[in-house]
Amino acid sequence: MANFNKNLLTTSVGVGLATGFYGISFGALSSAAGLDLWQTMALSLLMFSGGSQFAFVAIAAGGSPALAAAITSAWLLGIRNGFYSVRMVPILKVFGAKKLAAAMLTIDESMAVGTAQELEEDQRRGFWWTGMAVYVFWNAATFVGALVGQSLGSPEQWGLDAAAAAAFVGLIWPRLRERQALIVAAIALGVATFVSPYVPAGMPVLLAGGVAVLFGVFNWFGVRGRDEVAAVETATGESRP
Amino acid sequence: MNTWIAIILAAVAVYSWKIIGAYVPQRLMEKPVIARIAGLLTVALMAGLIGIQGFTSGGQLHADARIPALVVAGLLTWRKAPFIVMVAAAAVVAWVLRAYLGWA
């Protein structure tokens, strides 16, 4: 490989390790939510999108009536990956099976490392290396976490129910920089919490999503006169470098 | 619905966005209103899940050791602690409060 970029490889593997590592918490929480080892692994291998996976197991813990809402929530949380795909198309220039593989590896981290590089060659390498590193480590860590989770027994006993809530605090944090996002988060949290005694399991989260649609359509508390690129950057959360 | 079917459907659904992004014309996805809704959806769903996971139990409002655990998680996130450290700390706080201080 010409112009082999060792620093970029180190970055990619480093991001893969760091991100993959918290696959342990996903595996443990998925077990605590009642999914077995292979169901947990299937989520990491096939869904491969942290936010959607955490949401799916959290809602699916509500039992079979909540599964439709679990699917819908996971799906809606995956929307940001679509925006990453849009951004990667002109950089990757791939077709056929390679394009399908690239789509699979399109997540916060691969997009972030890829687009942070200056040379187009490095942008492509950064994307592929980071995507593959995260995929490998995320799945390995999920496996370990699921085994640990299975041996722990009741989720409440070890505070795993608190860990599940904490996971979403960590995931939402980088997206709360703007006033509009903060307001939507506060209202959505309140709506989901206070409607839960009155609607079936799974519904509260979807109603929280309705808050986003309302604020998005009417742009309440939004910044006026932003161009399209800025809007898309908000959508993709300008994730951590 | 069977859990396995739900897992497969959800995986396909999540993958569908990645494919849509890779194949649809760029202009459609970059409409400001669509981009705005997409960004806010992520925030709203995650915030909703914090509410459900933190303050309800079996569909009822319920305040217990998870609340101090969430406060610790928030502080650690603010202080830029690694994700896994923060999640583990939340579990430890809830566990200690329940096991040694008799909290619910």
Task: pLDDT band for A145, please (50, 70, 90 cuts).
Answer: very high
Question: Which residues lie across from B56 on neighbouring strands?
Answer: B61
**Reported ipTM:** 0.94
Residue of chain B with shortest Cα separation from A94: B22
Cα separation, A156 vs A62, in Å, equals: 15
Residues from chain B contacting residue A100 (CB–CB below 8 Å): 19
pLDDT above 90 for A47: yes
Q: Is B14 in contact with A81 (Cβ distance < 8 A)?
A: yes
pLDDT above 60 for A235: no
Separation in Å, CA B5 to CA A32, A53, A143, A202, B12:
20, 15, 21, 17, 11
Which residues, in sequence order, are CB contacts of B60 under 8 Å at separation 6+?
Answer: A196, A197
Give B42-99 pLDDT, tens digit per residue: 999 999 999 999 999 989 999 999 999 999 999 999 999 999 999 999 999 999 999 9
Cα separation, A145 vs B84, in Å, equals: 12
Q: Is B45 on the interface with A (CB under 8 A)?
A: yes
Give A190-200 pLDDT, tens digit per residue: 999 999 999 99
Give A115-136 pLDDT, tens digit per residue: 999 999 999 999 999 999 999 9
Q: Which of A10-19, A75-84, A190-199, A226-235 has the lowest mean pLDDT?
A: A226-235
Task: pLDDT band for A2, please (50, 70, 90 cuts).
Answer: very low
- The pLDDT score that the predictor gives to residue A241 is 33
- The pLDDT score that the predictor gives to residue A68 is 96
Q: Is B17 on the interface with A (CB under 8 A)?
A: yes
pLDDT above 80 for A228: no
Looking at the partner chain, which of A42, A58, A106 has a beta carbon nearest the beta carbon of B53? A58
Residues from chain B contacting residue A229 (CB–CB below 8 Å): 30
Local structure of residue A56 (DSSP, 8 states): H
Give the other-Cβ count within 10 Å of A57's Cβ.
Answer: 24
Distance of CA A72 to the CA centre of its chain: 14
Q: Is B10 in contact with A70 (Cβ distance < 8 A)?
A: yes
pLDDT above 50 for A222: yes
Cα separation, B16 vs B21, in Å, equals: 9
Mean pLDDT of chain A: 90
Pairing of strands B56-57, B60-61: antiparallel
Pick the more confident residue, B82 or B104: B82
- pTM equals 0.88
Distance from CA of A236 to the nearest CA of B (A): 6
User: Are A167 and B87 a contacting pair, CB within 8 Å?
Assistant: yes
- The pLDDT score that the predictor gives to residue A5 is 77
What's the sign of the alpha-carbon dihedral B44, A222, B35, A207? Answer: positive
Q: Is B21 on the interface with A (CB under 8 A)?
A: yes
Query: B12 exposed, middle or buried (CB, 10 Å; 0-12, 13-18, 19+)?
Result: middle
Q: Is B35 in contact with A160 (Cβ distance < 8 A)?
A: no
Which residues, in sequence order, are CB contacts of A72 under 8 Å at separation 6+?
Answer: A202, A206
Amino acid at A227: D
Residues from chain B contacting residue A164 (CB–CB below 8 Å): 53
Mean pLDDT of A45-58: 96
Give the other-Cβ count within 10 Å of A49's Cβ.
Answer: 26
| Residues A117-129: b if buried by 16+ CB within 10 A, e if exposed | beeeebbbbbbbb
Task: pLDDT band for A4, please (50, 70, 90 cuts).
Answer: low
Apex B61 CA angle, B57 and B64, nearest 5: 70
Cα separation, A192 vs A67, in Å, equals: 17
**C-alpha closest to that of A105 among A121, A124, A120:** A124
Distance from CA of B27 to the nearest CA of A (A): 10
